[in-house]
Amino acid sequence: MWLAGLGISGDVNAQTTDPALNALVKKGFLTEQEAKDALADAQTNLLNASQEKLPSASKWKLSDSIKSIGLYGDVRFRYEYRGADNAPGSGSSQDTYDRERFRYAIRVGIRGELTDDFYYGLRVETSSNPRSPWVTFGDDSNPTPSAKNSDTIGIGQVYLGWRTTDWLELTVGKMPMPLYVTPMVWDSDINPEGAAEQLKYSVGNVDLFSTFGQFMYQDNNPDNSFPSSDTFILAWQVGATVKLPKDLTFKVAPVLYNYTGQGQNNGLNQPFSGQGLNGLNPNTNGFNQNGINDLLILETPAELDFKLGEHSARVFGDFAYNFSGDDRARAAVGATAPEGNLPVAVTGQNKAYQVGVGYGNLGLVYGQTSKKNTWEARVYWQHVEQYALDVNLLDSDFFEGRANLQGVYAAFAYSFTDAIIGTVRYGYAQSINNRLGTGGNNLDLPVLNPVNYYNLLQLDLTWRF
């Protein structure tokens, strides 16, 4: 064991190289030559050991501009049930619609830091649907078992960002949602594409922030006007996070949305109707479900975080108001006042709100975090009137991406390991105003409008990495 404490030197002929060896030689335990040989062996062994620890040269060469690179994503499996029935008197040939599916979704990405305060991200995911990465087992048009023609991969995110200063950050591309919002207004699977500017500044216990977004809604080709007839949704958000005594944190951030440009495809340039034709939900014959006319929306999400016992708790909510909602209602019936056989416009349907609570490991229900043996319970009530929001952005799961519905959403998630999460979700909704349809564009339950009631059950198993 005394060799472990040797002071190694390149001159093995000097007797004073190691005091321990010199002492052993003086007491007659070692000859001078044996001490020299032992010193030489120890020196050789130490050199070999250090060489073995040297890493081999990597065969994967990264650009000098990349400071860091990280792999992340998730793999999810789901059983899902959706069911609904038509409102009485809708005239539909089909009164109820039920659908059961076994599904999977994959999202895999890389992200990291670049030199000079730039950062980047790239993520691929299953399905080409912007509001859902889910693929259904066995729904391929090819009739042979385990076909693959519906199992597509698309670009979910691709973006470049720049932290210009401590208080300003710029992002361009198809990016993670930069706004503070809720699923009431934006489906959490939507990754807006365009540009965003984020500012932040702290004053005492208040963190101020603002986010401005210029998101491409639809690219029209050819452009018929200068500078562009492309359709954009513009977002203007200001907010604050206030740190209060006793582990309380309050966050609120109003955001105003307006639209520019004229849509030329998919019904964007036609007035939104929201009604159905004999219970069906077509985008023809004046029963348009996509129109983005008369939308000037103010959304105000907020949350209060605090400790309740050993766990974190959150009371959250959202309120949205469409200042042009009555004009949207009038456009839906084709006139600003009743004429001939035109129905009377149902005005005053321009509000949406959500209120709920979460308890446990907050974010686990949405797969934003995971830690072994932790859990989260979440429940909220949601109310979306017919002309309050852009139905093309609504969550395609809860409420089926439709308006004129209200109901309850509940979820419970448990993390079996640091990477495996099990989640149960349930939603129930019913129509708000039986004089109106339940407008929206979603093919999951395509043949019902108006919907009288709606049920959703999802059982998920997620591997998060």
Tracing tokens 């416009």 back to the chain, one arrives at 345
255-260 and 297-308 beta bridge pairing: antiparallel
For residue 118, give both structure tokens: 């730039």
Residue 388 has pLDDT above 60, yes or no: yes
Give the H/E segment covering residue 22.
helix 19-26
CA–CA distance, 216 with 234 (Å, rounded to integer): 9
In order of start, what are the domains of the chain with their CATH numbers? 2-52 (no CATH), 74-120+160-464 (2.40.160)
For residue 219, give both structure tokens: 């690219």
Interval 122-161: pLDDT, tens: 999 998 888 899 999 988 777 778 888 778 899 999 999 9
451-464 and 70-86 beta bridge pairing: antiparallel
Q: How far apart are the first and last CA of the chain?
A: 45
For residue 140, give both structure tokens: 């391929």
pLDDT tier, 41 (very low <50, low <70, confident <90, very high otherwise): confident
pLDDT tier, 192 (very low <50, low <70, confident <90, very high otherwise): very high
The predicted structure's pLDDT at residue 431: 93
- Asked if 211 and 195 count as a contact pair (C-beta separation under 8 A), the reply is no
Give the H/E segment covering residue 35.
helix 32-52
Chain-wide mean pLDDT for the chain? Answer: 86
More confident residue, 283 or 106: 106
- Asked if 294 and 325 count as a contact pair (C-beta separation under 8 A), the reply is yes
For residue 193, give both structure tokens: 């594409």
137: three-class secondary structure by DSSP: coil
What is the maximum alpha-carbon separation in the chain? 123
CA–CA distance, 404 with 112 (Å, rounded to integer): 42
pLDDT tier, 115 (very low <50, low <70, confident <90, very high otherwise): very high
CA–CA distance, 259 with 230 (Å, rounded to integer): 10
Q: What is the mean pLDDT of residues 75-95?
A: 78
CA–CA distance, 359 with 289 (Å, rounded to integer): 36
User: What does 197-258 look like in DSSP terms, one character per residue?
Assistant: EEEEEEETTEEEEEEEEEEEEE--SS--SSS---EEEEEEEEEEEEEETTTEEEEE--EEEE
The predicted structure's pLDDT at residue 274: 87
pLDDT tier, 12 (very low <50, low <70, confident <90, very high otherwise): very low
The predicted structure's pLDDT at residue 90: 53
CA–CA distance, 92 with 448 (Å, rounded to integer): 8
Interval 199-221: pLDDT, tens: 999 999 999 999 999 999 988 76
CA–CA distance, 76 with 140 (Å, rounded to integer): 19
Of 172-176, 276-280, 434-438, the poorest mean pLDDT is in: 276-280
